[in-house]
Amino acid sequence: MQLSRFPRIRMGHMPTPLEHMPRLSALLGGPEIWIKRDDCTGLSTGGNKTRKLEFLMAEAVAMGADIVLTQGATQSNHARQTAAAAAKLGMDCHILLEDRTGYNEPNYRMNGNVLLDVLHGATIEHRGPGLDMNAEMFAVAETFRAKGRTPYAIVGGGSNATGALGYVNCALELLGQTVEKDLVFDHMVTATGSAGTHAGLIVGLKALNAQLPLLGIGVRAPQETQEGNVFKLAQAVEEKLGLQGVVKRADVVANCDYIGKGYGIPAESTLEAIDLFARTEAILLDPVYSGKGGAGLIDLCRKGHFKKGERIVFLHTGGAIGLTGYTHVLPHA
């Protein structure tokens, strides 16, 4: 597979750093924990959507789009990075935001990612919970087309086969770093939501026979659904790359025990993870994704699922700007 065959517009700061977390490792007393800093991709406070958008926006440019649409929850990191990418490329951006949590606090509705959406010049419209948001978005895209525009609509999270190529690329990058640094990892852990990150990574890891099991920590769907979504997308990615059957259903593993009350609502364990990472390693997790991923990592170390003598890499998918949208649940001075 040669990823360079696919159109890509470089926007991220890559390779992202791969760092040891000695204080968190010591505190948990189990495995040696490393972190892959995709929170440092550079585009408007960074995050995992940047890698996907490098491939998606190249497709948008190739088809002559003058406006990009996408959708997500109110504090969507994907919407914010899409707004930033569009600004950088001189395109308009229109976002549909779903009120998925019921939070009504001013910071939730206007600060964090929403503030940056607006700063990047995106226009926003809102939807109540429970709709098929991709269908809503495609309908709005048609209204732009009817006005003579050329819209490019990006599904939620940028998670289609094109976007997921960004995480095939991340797998290649990470494995290159393990060679440079003489590191062998026993497990990789990432938060998993709309599935593009998990699917791209597993295709890249399996295609290279990395023998590095990947665990997704779910943030929304139950385990069966999440694993099914990831597997289906992984198959679409394989097809795009001309690979076949490198990812088996059993390679796709998600643990959905750290979701708490639901998507976008931090659990106690989410808040504890945010606190621990901030105090031990000065790493900022986010309340929706990496905080839940971090909670899974911490708990699975404490339970001895990840053991002393093993080495783990945790993918930091970003999102810390969302903390300022969640002041109502975070500790205050």
The residues annotated as belonging to the active site are 76
- In sequence order, the β-bridge partners of residue 275 are none
Reduced to 3 states (helix: H, G, I; strand: E, B; else coil), residue 327 is coil
Residue from 8, 36, 51, 78 binding ligand PLP (CB under 6 A): 78
Residue from 289, 306, 314, 326 binding ligand PLP (CB under 6 A): 289
CA-to-CA distance for 290 and 21, rounded, in angstroms? 16
If one asks whether residue 319 binds ligand PLP (CB under 6 A), the answer comes out as yes
Q: How far is the CB of 316 from ligand PLP (least distance, A)?
A: 8
Q: How far is the CB of 39 from ligand PLP (least distance, A)?
A: 8
If one asks whether residue 318 binds ligand PLP (CB under 6 A), the answer comes out as yes
Task: Please compute Rg for the chain using Cα positions.
Answer: 19
Strands 311-316 and 187-192 come out as parallel
Please name which of 333, 298, 326, 300 lies closest in space to residue 113, comparing C-alpha atoms: 326
Q: How far is the CB of 47 from ligand PLP (least distance, A)?
A: 5
Residues in Cβ contact with 250 at an 8 Å cutoff, skipping those fewer than 6 apart: none
Residue from 12, 31, 46, 157 binding ligand PLP (CB under 6 A): 157
Is there a contact between 30 and 308 (Cβ–Cβ < 8 Å)?
yes
Q: How far is the CB of 263 from ligand PLP (least distance, A)?
A: 11
Q: How far is the CB of 27 from ligand PLP (least distance, A)?
A: 23
Site string for ligand PLP, 117-156 (x = CB under 6 A): ----------------------------------------
The residue among 30 and 80 lying less far from ligand PLP, judged by its C-beta, is 80
Is there a contact between 73 and 100 (Cβ–Cβ < 8 Å)?
yes
Residue that the structure tokens 């990823």 belong to: 3
If one asks whether residue 159 binds ligand PLP (CB under 6 A), the answer comes out as yes
Strands 311-316 and 18-20 come out as unpaired
The residue among 30 and 157 lying less far from ligand PLP, judged by its C-beta, is 157
CA-to-CA distance for 91 and 282, rounded, in angstroms? 35
Stretch that binds ligand PLP, among 133-141, 273-281, 297-305, 312-320 (CB under 6 A): 312-320
Site residues (CB under 6 A) for ligand PLP, limited to 186-205: 191-198
Q: What is the DSSP string of 132-158?
A: -HHHHHHHHHHHHHHTT--EEEE-GGG
The residue among 66 and 257 lying less far from ligand PLP, judged by its C-beta, is 257
Task: State how far the alpha carbon of 179 is from the alpha carbons of 25, 70, 172, 285, in Å.
Answer: 22, 37, 11, 27
Q: How far is the CB of 157 from ligand PLP (least distance, A)?
A: 4
The residue among 78 and 187 lying less far from ligand PLP, judged by its C-beta, is 78
Per rule CB under 6 A, count of chain residues that contact ligand PLP: 20
The residue among 263 and 306 lying less far from ligand PLP, judged by its C-beta, is 263
If one asks whether residue 48 binds ligand PLP (CB under 6 A), the answer comes out as yes
If one asks whether residue 41 binds ligand PLP (CB under 6 A), the answer comes out as no
Q: How far is the CB of 148 from ligand PLP (least distance, A)?
A: 32
Token output for 156? 């939620």
The residue among 198 and 206 lying less far from ligand PLP, judged by its C-beta, is 198
Residues in Cβ contact with 69 at an 8 Å cutoff, skipping those fewer than 6 apart: 93, 94, 95, 96, 137, 140, 141, 144, 151, 152, 153, 154
List of residues contacting ligand PLP (CB under 6 A):
47-48, 77-78, 157, 159, 191-198, 286, 289-290, 317-319
